[in-house]
Amino acid sequence: MKTILFPTDFSDNAIHASKYAGMLARRFDAKVILLHVYAITVPVNSEFQLIYDTENTLLQRGKEAEQNLQFFTEKFIGNTNLHIEQITQMVEYGLVSDVVVEIAKAQNVDLIVMGTKGASNMIDKWFGTNAEIIMESAKCPVWIIPENALLNAPQTIMYAADFKEDEIAATHKLLEIAKPLGATCKVVHIHDYFELKVNQTVKEMVTELKHEFENEDITFKHLNRKEIVKGLETYIKTHNPDVLALAAYEKSFLSKIFNSSITQHFVQEAKLPMLFFKK
């Protein structure tokens, strides 16, 4: 991990999440790109769908954004003790999700760290459109920091594996993130009682994973539960990991997570940071 991208809307929650990003930057010895995306909101239900920003308005908004980002950067340095040489400031105009993905690609970013919401609603409906766009389009992992999440360095990362596609490669990617943090990894797979002939396949997969990673600080667990999402939620409540990791390959699996109460529990109630990465 050499470069971390942190989008900010200058809110209190962004300041909080930036401390987590700074902690990760210190652990990874990485550089941080602080990005602010500004735009003029166009009301969806307006009778006048075409609203044009004048050149002067755009210039003014850009200057204000640069000043605010400079002030935010000073706070960021004070909160994280990172050196100014480790930090790059960027101000862009456009749609947040699109710009974040474009900058991540252009700057060859290794990790995106974001807060879940802010006072200006920059990351609006995080587990809706913006989250899906960024996770589906960004090539790098995305680390989501809930409001008021603990800022401690993660000691345990729990990966909720669906055991589809290449789980060995996915687990290697997880370890690439976990090792510099000194974190223990737990790989958990939950399947429901009604999945026919799946138990033997799961056992074979677990055996293969244990053999591949026998010398690593990682454990593997598979469980039968009536409902996968509730089973995962119960397991997390019991074992209290510091981070929940999901591999954003199978969209149907992610949609099951997004469209359930599990999202509200993990992000809003449990304040559990979530790490999304590609298999």
Higher-confidence residue: 47 or 109? 109
pLDDT for residue 49: 43
Q: Domain 156-277 adopts which CATH fold?
A: Rossmann fold (3.40.50)
In the chain, the percentage of residues whose pLDDT exceeds 70 is 77
What region, left, alpha or beta, does residue 165 occupy, with left being phi > 0 and alpha being psi -120 to 50 degrees?
Answer: left
Closest by Cα among 107, 125, 97 to 7: 97
- Beta-carbon contacts of 142 under 8 Å, excluding residues fewer than 6 positions away, are 111, 112, 113, 114, 134, 135, 248, 275, 276, 277
pLDDT value of position 81: 94
What are 186's strand-pairing partners?
158, 219
Q: What percent of the chain has pLDDT over 90?
A: 46
Q: Which CATH superfamily is domain 3-145 in?
A: HUPs (3.40.50.620)
Task: Confirm whether pTM is higher than 0.75.
Answer: yes
Residue 227: closest CA among 250, 257, 186: 257
The full set of domain ranges for the chain reads: 3-145, 156-277
Q: Which of 43-52, 163-172, 189-198, 223-232 has the lowest mean pLDDT?
A: 43-52
Name the band, by pLDDT with cuts 50, 70 and 90, for residue 223: confident
H or E stretch at 271? none
* Same fold for the pair 3-145 and 156-277: yes
Q: Which DSSP category does 154 fall into? A: P
The larger pLDDT score, comparing residue 110 to residue 43, is at 110
DSSP lists the bridge partners of residue 156 as 184
For 58-88, write each residue's pLDDT tens digit: 888 889 999 999 999 999 999 999 999 999 9
Rg (CA), the chain: 20
- Of 15-19, 233-237, 260-264, the one with minimum mean pLDDT is 260-264
The span from the CA of 123 to the CA of 118, in Å, is 7
Mean pLDDT of 21-41: 91
Under 8 Å between Cβ of 251 and 165 = no
